[in-house]
Chain A
Amino acid sequence: MTIYLPIAELSVNILIILGMGAAVGFLSGMFGVGGGFLITPLLIFYNIPPVVAVATGANQVVASSISGAITHFRRGTIDIKLGTVLLCGGLAGATLGVWLFSFLRRAGQLDLVISLLYVVLLGSVGSLMLWESVRAMRKAAKNQATPLRRPGQHNWVHGLPLKMRFKKSKIYLSVIPVAALGFCIGILTSVMGVGGGFIMVPAMIYLLRIPTNVVVGTSLFQIIFVSAYTVIVQASTNYTVDIVLAFVLMIAGVIGAQYGVRVGQKLRGEQLRALLALLVLAVGIRLAVELVIPPKDIYSVVSAGFGF
């Protein structure tokens, strides 16, 4: 059963796309991540032009983040003020990212940069998460408490100027690191087609020391708007958002996510983090291997319409 993708201009097996969407949706529901970091590489492995994969991946992230954000909004675990500061940085970053994307595409280095970014980010975030969760599991085995937040401790981030009071998060923090974090995530969203939650959440917890209960909701708030903005900018500059592909992925993704959430609730936090870390590392290693082993063909052909 095939379906024609009007923007990617090729026919694909709809069952494979549905399966991909459902699997990534399941994992994203289970771990509470957007899944962009899985969907974009998968689409590229399935021969979707990277330009289309990145832009369409961002569209899928919007859909998968919405339902999570609604839940957090109802529970009141979104710090809108903090989210807005993140968002300002994010929009600026996404704008630069789309420009960078077009530039790298013309230079023929987009695929390399996308792969390298994935390897570096997934590798480092995955290792850190794995290390942290294994430590937490050991402590849990010894019946020790595992404080994620150490309120008394301050790092260099808290010495920066332009401080602002974020009532919901109950913190008094400089806007510089917050906007800078949003900016970096914005670049990643437009260059890699990821929401960036897997980097933003740990950075907010460990670096900015924002309370864990508002972290996920606030990061989702920022992800929705930055991804939506990226989709619109990619659609108007590169014409690479494939709405058919995105829609099939979304439908399968949101359904898969519902089942993922149920499985996720049965697992303990640190186990969940360890599994997510392994998954993140696996994707990173897969991409790293691809960069190092001699390619099947050292030549590649792209026509002016598409490619990287």
Chain B
Amino acid sequence: MIRLARIALAALILAFAAPAAAQLQDENANDFTEKLEIGISTDEIAITSDFRGADLTIFGAVDGFDANLLVQGKYNIIVSLEGPKDNATVRKKERVFGIWVNTSSMTFELVPESYSLSSTRDIETIAPPGEMGNMGIGVDHMRLVPLGFVGDGSNLGEFRNAFRRIRETSGVYERDPGGVQFISSSLFKASVRLPANVPNGVHVVRAYLFRDGTFVAAKALPLRVVKTGVEQVITQTAHQQPLFYGLFAVLLAVITGWGASLLFRKE
């Protein structure tokens, strides 16, 4: 019973610790004079039948900057485009009786389905890794919390690495350490990319301002990625009237098959 209480207490502390840390950051941010503003030309991306991915340009401005520091290149900006979050399972294959079988797996809780990162330079040189880790910026620092029982956790590292590697090689996680450029002293532009197999839902554009290795300010904007026209009607019907959808799919097949046999018989 005591042990249970202890676990509950630990969970409570953990639960409170996270918002407290966030609050601390906000307070820090207030000490700086710099302010960050960003804007995108659209808050909605429509997926049409010929969708092949999209490049997004985000404009932003730093207000109240220190001209000296700016000249020295002490200001750095990181812009990320985060896709909707979902649980993701990493599976590992091993050879069993000569064939390759999935033998172990690990599920990470609510990780972004897509992630495109753009910065003024390599993010590892913008701030110490510890700070990036705290804020969860960058593929290497993204929070990957395993779901459920993971044993002694000795294989956590390999599954995390595999997850990052696969997401990066498949192109849904990207980074461009030169994608943010200052176009005037305080105006900057950042380009991020939506991959072709982009998940639908609410994506978030986040911009972070760093001064000489210290986090100063952040700003976030939502970006909705929606299917349009026929695509939307199809998805909606498939999920809301699945029986009707299934019947329609069969009907379409019957008409196509029948039509073909009629068409070619006349020839």
Q: How far is the CB of A299 from the nearest CB of chain B, in Å?
A: 4
User: How many residue pairs, one in A and one in B, have C-beta atoms under 8 Å apart?
Assistant: 185
Out of A67, A247, A291, A305, name the residue touching B100 (CB < 8 Å): A291
Beyond A112-B101, A243-B252, is A235–B196 a contact (Cβ under 8 Å)?
no
Decide yes or no whether B49 CB sits under 8 A from chain A: yes
Report chain B residues within 8 Å CB of A11: 50-53, 196-197
Interface 9-mer from B9-17, B73-81, B117-125, B235-243: B235-243
In the bound complex, do residue B166 and residue A297 qualify as a contact, i.e. CB atoms below 8 Å apart? Answer: yes
Binary contact track B161-193/A, C-beta < 8 Å → 1, others 0: 011011100000000000000000000000000
Q: Which of B95, B200, B252 has the most CB of A within 10 A?
A: B252
Which parts of B225-241 form the interface with A (CB within 8 Å)? Answer: 227, 230-232, 234-235, 238-239
Report chain B residues within 8 Å CB of A302: 88-89, 91
Please give me the residue from chain A that is nearest to B50 by CB atom: A2
In the bound complex, do residue A258 and residue B260 qualify as a contact, i.e. CB atoms below 8 Å apart? Answer: yes
Report chain A residues within 8 Å CB of B71: none
Report chain A residues within 8 Å CB of B238: 6-7, 235, 239, 241, 243
CA distance A109 to B103 in the complex (A): 9
Report chain A residues within 8 Å CB of B199: 9, 305
In the bound complex, do residue B52 and residue A2 qualify as a contact, i.e. CB atoms below 8 Å apart? Answer: yes
Q: How far is the CB of B3 from the nearest CB of chain A, in Å?
A: 32
Decide yes or no whether B94 CB sits under 8 A from chain A: yes
Decide yes or no whether B47 CB sits under 8 A from chain A: yes
CA distance A228 to B250 in the complex (A): 6
Which parts of A191-235 form the interface with B (CB within 8 Å)? Answer: 228, 231-235
Report chain A residues within 8 Å CB of B210: none
Beyond A59-B250, A60-B253, A292-B99, is A67–B260 a contact (Cβ under 8 Å)?
yes
Interface 9-mer from A178-186, A249-257, A267-275: A249-257
Out of A67, A232, A255, name the residue touching B243 (CB < 8 Å): A232
Decide yes or no whether B149 CB sits under 8 A from chain A: no
Out of B102, B249, B261, name the residue touching A67 (CB < 8 Å): B261
In the bound complex, do residue A251 and residue B256 qualify as a contact, i.e. CB atoms below 8 Å apart? Answer: yes
Out of A3, A116, A250, A298, name the residue touching B49 (CB < 8 Å): A3
In the bound complex, do residue B200 and residue A67 qualify as a contact, i.e. CB atoms below 8 Å apart? Answer: no
Report chain B residues within 8 Å CB of A152: none
Q: How far is the CB of B50 from the nearest CB of chain A, in Å?
A: 6
Decide yes or no whether A65 CB sits under 8 A from chain B: yes
In the bound complex, do residue B48 and residue A4 qualify as a contact, i.e. CB atoms below 8 Å apart? Answer: yes
Please give me the residue from chain A that is nearest to B98 by CB atom: A292
Decide yes or no whether B33 CB sits under 8 A from chain A: no
Q: Which of A63, A246, A292 has the most CB of B within 10 A?
A: A63
Q: Which of A9, A234, A301 has the most CB of B within 10 A?
A: A301
Out of B100, B105, B230, B258, name the residue touching A298 (CB < 8 Å): B100
Which parts of B44-100 form the interface with A (CB within 8 Å)? Answer: 47-53, 86-95, 98-100
CA distance A116 to B97 in the complex (A): 13
Q: How far is the CB of A290 from the nearest CB of chain B, in Å?
A: 9
In the bound complex, do residue A108 and residue B50 qualify as a contact, i.e. CB atoms below 8 Å apart? Answer: no
Decide yes or no whether A19 CB sits under 8 A from chain B: no
Q: Known contacts A235-B243, A250-B252; can you find 19 more A-B pairs with CB under 8 A?
A: A4-B227, A10-B197, A11-B51, A62-B250, A63-B257, A70-B258, A108-B105, A228-B253, A231-B249, A231-B250, A232-B246, A246-B252, A250-B253, A291-B100, A299-B93, A301-B163, A302-B89, A303-B89, A303-B113
Return the 3 tightest CB-CB contacts between A and B, nearest first.
A66-B257, A235-B246, A67-B261
Chain A residues within CB distance 8 Å of chain B: 1-4, 6-7, 9-11, 59-60, 62-67, 70-71, 108-109, 111-112, 116, 228, 231-237, 239, 241, 243-244, 246-247, 250-251, 254-255, 257-258, 291-292, 294-295, 297-305, 307
Task: List 5 A-B residue pairs with CB atoms under 8 Å apart, sorted by A's residue number.
Answer: A66-B257, A66-B261, A67-B260, A70-B257, A109-B101
